[in-house]
Chains A and B, each alone.
Chain A
Amino acid sequence: MIKLVKMTPTQQRKIQHLYHRAGFGISISELNKIQNNSIKVIVNNIFSSSKNYTDLSIDYGEYAGSYKMKKEARENLTQEEKKKIQKAFREDIVKINVKWINKLATDNAQLREKMTLFWHGHFACKSPVPMFNQNQNNTLRKFALGKFGDLLMAVSKDPAMLQFLNNQQNRKKSPNENFAREVMELFTLGRGNYTEEDIKNSARAFTGWGFNEEGEFVFRDKQHDDGEKNFMGKTGNFSGEDVIKIILENKKTAEFITNKIYRFFVNENDTDKEVVKKLAGEFYDSGYDIEKLMKNIFTSDWFYDERNIGAKIKSPTELISGMMRVFNVKFENDLPIVFMEKSMGQMLLNPPNVAGWPGGKNWIDTSSLMFRMKLPEVLFKSSELEFSYKDTPDEDNMKEVNMKEDNMKDDEMNMQKQKKNKNDSANREKKFFKKVKTNINLNDYFTTFGKYDKEELVGYLSEFVLQKDINTNTKKLALTYSDISSKENFIESLIMRLMSLPEYQLC
């Protein structure tokens, strides 16, 4: 019988794996620098790079203060003025979105940004007010690697979330249970670990939690129900803070969060239940120390098991910021980024609902996959891509960031070949072609890979670009379809061909 040799991933692939999961990939120059270090040293460096960080902020124009406007002043606005503010708000949300993508692609605190993205999907929320989005994003960033309890409390008192889950309408006389329900179902315990009675009683505890016109958390004493509540087997006149404390005392919360972190950072199809159980126990014992949990994961041997490498389908955000980070892609204008997000199904700051993006195979359908495979060519050749989007409805007066025609003109979009723009339907359902202008700097790649011949190159490059091995025929095809007019063209086009493979969707 032939003895089976268990393949173990190379050091290079392990490092790339770590960077894909703890961040958004690694460029060749970074990889060259660190490839001889031990995984332990590299993990420590990743954590220390995320100690210091900068907040995300954008320049607000003349409508910066509009969200603070008193109710009476707001009511006195004309339709015209209201529209202008809404338009400015929409544009500012796009600015925050794009600024964040750029931050994901370039920031040194890569792990912290990755965690912020994870929490953005976990505490999925959308707000029509740009400043609320910015504040929440910075709250997630601040506590991203801290104690989960602090993060939970901060998010629960965050105006964007209180507004999104209607806790502003949660009053003693008529409790609104939306916030209480989602806190338990989606943010902490998970379905099945609480009762409808628990929801009713905790909703009463959260009465009075709201925010003022300055966009700050306020406790409205008069709206609060300070009567006795029964919650998870305990009785008392609990406050919202008490409820959160009781939820954190429950081990199910640690299990739920750890399981979700495992699926996001390790493997989404194949969960090692024993590992998750052990991680959850340690997470609970540490008082929900997120940094410790993450370090625990990234330093474990099982994290680098072959079954966990390349086991995830990249989210659109990971795909876009990964291409930008690894291949030094810079977009000359911002809107294509937003269109790409939309075409692939993940607009940042605009999750589909409070449950967040379902992820995994849900990212892929026939049209989104063809789009993803076409994308490298569009970026590398600055070629035309057809974008389209559906007219999506407004959410409580929030015009979803849907690039109405006027916005596009403002942003000097060159709408070409726009079809039938005279009739109503075409105005709502836009289709246009856009030249995506990018700058890509591959000098480090030319230096590193220039010395190899063609056959060697396809081996080395596929090991670098992809986290899954490809078969010989696929390698041959990638070679055949590359441009051999010069060494540089060859390296560039081969990278592009490898990025167009289905395997590139995995990390």
Chain B
Amino acid sequence: MAKVTRRDFFKFSALASASMMIPSFIKPLQAKEITEKFLASGAKKLVIVQLSGGNDGLNTVIPFKNDIYYSSRNSIAIQEKDVLKITDELGFNPAMPKFKSLYESGYLSIINNVGYPNPDRSHFRSMDIWQSASDSDKYTTSGWIGRYLDSECPDCKNPYNAIEVNDTLSLALKGEKYNGIAVENPERFFMSTSEKYFGDIANANKNKHDDENVAYLYKTIVEATSSAEYVYKTSKIYKSKLEYPKGQFSSNLKTIAELIVSGIDTQVFYVSLGGFDTHVGQNGKQENLLKELSEGIYSFTEDLKGNDKLNDVFIMTFSEFGRRVKQNASGGTDHGTANNIFVINGNLKKPGFYNTAPDLTNLDNGDLKYEIDFRNIYAEVLNKWLNVNDKKILGGNFKQLNLI
């Protein structure tokens, strides 16, 4: 069971009473009830980090004893002396000392060779597959987190149960019935919905509508306005004093940390870092991105740890595909298939490497063969972390990995 400090408890009940306007005479009882609910389910948070463009996993976690790696990548391979070694064979890109530190603390696990059958090398299609969790020959218009919101979990009915820290909503957060919300800046989101006219017309149309679309549109305004107010008010409770690295990605993570520590009900957060499509001159570009990724996540985990929240937050990264083993003629790499993903939490069952490094002698047309279907990870997270029926949401039976 999650640990809740006195401070958390105090903040949470302060929020509860402020936002729900509980009359003072029932406050203690109500607060107790809310706290129990908070302890039971609300405490578990999932943070999904999307690396857009197809991150080159082989130059992220480097097989520095592998001759094939070096012979396939004569100008972009990371030299053994520069690798941040973590085992006898594998190490991080030199831009990632912060990940090495997370690894050494036991907060990080690396899952290799994650992919799916009949991989699609198109960014868009492949990203759709990852976000919708569909088979590669099927088209699905809802995302896996969206369907989580649709599912019967008791806390899912609010759109703010899943927040994408961005200005537009990804497919991953769109359900059949419910959508998550896109909020990059809680204050700005609040401002966009606080126009008095919009509030007034929503109010004037509270009653049931015969027309399905009219009802849907008004429901969406109500969701936007009520979520915006809730998220904005919650965001003001805890302001992090920790210095995060510069950049939008880290600042988005900071927003998430502040919301989590403030005790927001939201269970899923979605954030992305783009620019990984490195066909040309890969090394400098990828290093900057990996630095941004690892330093941002490191600060985020520090912030959570300082507030006793690291055990309650499960972070997973993914990218739509890895890149080809062999580099191309312009110092870059082309679209590939299987890739590594990182999971981060204060209480991992199997920290370190979950499985073995990619087998560079056994390739499929020059691409890595996948070993673990990404939906196995989704299944585990849905079932064990978010406590919902993974089979229903994923539309199939995917074996869990025993990470949690």
Instruction: Report A's interface with B, CB cutoff 8 A.
Output: 79, 181, 269-270, 310-313, 343, 345, 352-355, 358, 361-362, 364-370, 373-374, 386, 388-397, 420, 423-426, 428-429, 431, 468, 471, 473-474, 477, 481, 497, 500-503, 505-506
Contacts and interface: CB of A to CB of B under 8 A. Distances in A.
Given A393-B53, A393-B277, A374 B192 contact: yes
B333 to A, nearest CB: 13
A155 B211 CA distance: 38
Contact of B275 (A270, A391, A481): A391
B137 A181 contact: yes
Given A312-B213, A391-B274, A420-B248, 15 more contacts: A79-B280, A181-B137, A358-B141, A365-B169, A367-B181, A370-B224, A374-B192, A391-B52, A392-B274, A393-B52, A394-B277, A424-B292, A429-B274, A473-B204, A477-B204
B139 A503 contact: no
Contacts of B127: 393
A425 B52 contact: no
Given A424-B292, A471-B204, A390 B279 contact: no
20 contacts: A311-B211, A311-B213, A353-B125, A362-B141, A364-B216, A365-B174, A365-B182, A366-B159, A366-B179, A374-B195, A388-B167, A390-B166, A390-B272, A391-B53, A394-B123, A395-B124, A397-B279, A426-B248, A481-B200, A506-B214
Interface in B109-166: 122-125, 127-128, 137, 139, 141, 159, 166
Nearest to B320: A393
Contacts of A352: 124, 128
A420 B246 CA distance: 9
A390 B204 contact: no
A210 B124 CA distance: 23
Interface in B172-226: 174, 179, 181-182, 184, 188-189, 192-193, 195, 197-198, 200-201, 204-205, 211-214, 216-218, 220-221, 223-224
Interface in B352-370: none
B54 interface: yes
B168 interface: yes
Given A361-B216, A388-B167, A502-B221, A428 B275 contact: yes
B101 interface: no
A366 B53 CA distance: 26
Contact of A477 (B197, B211, B275): B197
B248 A429 contact: yes
Contact of A365 (B122, B179, B218, B277): B179
B402 interface: no
B293 to A, nearest CB: 11
Contacts of A506: 213-214, 217
B397 interface: no
Contacts of B54: 393
B40 to A, nearest CB: 27
Given A79-B280, A311-B213, A365-B182, A425 B166 contact: no
Contacts of A390: 52, 166, 168, 272, 274
B274 A366 contact: no
Contacts of A355: 139
A501 B123 CA distance: 36
Contacts, number: 163
Most B-side CB within 10 Å, residue of A270, A365, A366, A373: A366
A175 to B, nearest CB: 15
B247 interface: yes
Interface of B: 52-54, 122-125, 127-128, 137, 139, 141, 159, 166-169, 174, 179, 181-182, 184, 188-189, 192-193, 195, 197-198, 200-201, 204-205, 211-214, 216-218, 220-221, 223-224, 227, 246-250, 272-277, 279-280, 288-289, 292, 320, 330
Those 8 A-B pairs whose CB atoms lie nearest each other, nearest first: A425-B247, A391-B274, A502-B217, A393-B123, A366-B224, A473-B204, A425-B248, A393-B53
B214 A468 contact: yes
Nearest to A480: B200
Given A355-B139, A370-B224, A468-B211, A481 B217 contact: no
Contact of B52 (A269, A392, A471): A392
Contacts of A312: 213
Contact of B220 (A310, A364, A500): A364
A154 to B, nearest CB: 24
A81 to B, nearest CB: 13
A355 B139 CA distance: 7
A365 B173 CA distance: 10
B9 to A, nearest CB: 31
Contacts of B272: 390
Contact of A269 (B166, B168, B213, B289): B213
Most B-side CB within 10 Å, residue of A313, A373, A426: A373
Contacts of B212: 269-270
Nearest to A351: B124
A362 B169 CA distance: 11
Contacts of B205: 471, 473-474, 502
B274 A313 contact: no
Contacts of B181: 365-367
A80 B142 CA distance: 41
A388 B217 CA distance: 23
Contacts of B125: 353-354
